[in-house]
Amino acid sequence: MKTLQEKVSVVMPAYNEAGHIAASVEETIRTFREFGCSWELLVIDDGSSDATYEILCGLQKKYPGELIVKKNPFNLGKGRALKKAFRYTSGDFVVFLDADMDLHPIQVQTLFDILRLDNADIVIGSKLHPNSRVNYPLERKIMSFGYYLLVKLLFGLPCHDTQTGIKLFKSEVLRKVFPRILVKQFAFDLELLVNAHHLGYKIAEAPIVLNPQRKYTRIGSRAVFATTQDTLAVFYRMRILKYYDRIDYYRRKGMAKEFRRMRK
């Protein structure tokens, strides 16, 4: 990435990560310094109830000009946090990176390589890529594959795994797609990718190395139900209501009141 002329903005949402956030931020900064490109790291605390924000403020003083810290007053969900954080980025490319370091930031290099090779607009890490090396429970593997089949059936996306926490976007894609997004939590990544694909942006997948930094907890039935419900809601808006196409129509016509009413 030393030959990359454009700037990269790394966005890292964090919620109750006091035990891990300092190590995650410092490892990310060290990695991007070695890349040698122009970059910034923006961490947004999504209303943590622990000391995450206080730790981040201390780190911001330690890394001025490299680390930007923002905070939501209360927990709004990953989708809202990322949308808010994007407003403060200045990069030509935006990387989404989870704060738990299950996915080491060194893997961003692979995403950029695939972006160039495939002439893609978006590159997403995929646990289901044949070259990925993952270490997570069989239950999670089965659920990931089952969700892939559901997404493939409903949307025909050209990717196998929408949920992995490392993604690379051209910033112009997010500027175009984010105003269309409604999901705040479970199916946020799906809604983002479905809309990008609908608008004609090219999505490519990258292999990942997944090394869990803490023990996985069992996925509850409530989370499974919420994810399925959000997924079906995205399908309903895309295929039945044609909601996303209507947004474009109202925006082109300058019909601001109708646009706001649709988003309520």
Read out DSSP for 167-187?
EEEEHHHHHHHGGG----STT
Report whether pLDDT(256) > 60: no
pLDDT tens figures, 115-162: 999 999 999 999 999 999 998 888 888 999 999 999 999 999 999 999
Alpha-helical segments (H) within 69-157: 78-86, 108-118, 138-155
Average pLDDT along the chain: 92
166-201 pLDDT, tens digit each = 999 999 999 999 999 998 878 999 999 999 999 999
Q: Regarding the domain with residue range 7-217, which homologous superfamily does it belong to in the CATH classification?
A: Spore Coat Polysaccharide Biosynthesis Protein SpsA; Chain A (3.90.550.10)
Q: List pLDDT tens digits, range 44-81.
A: 999 999 999 999 999 999 999 999 999 999 999 999 99
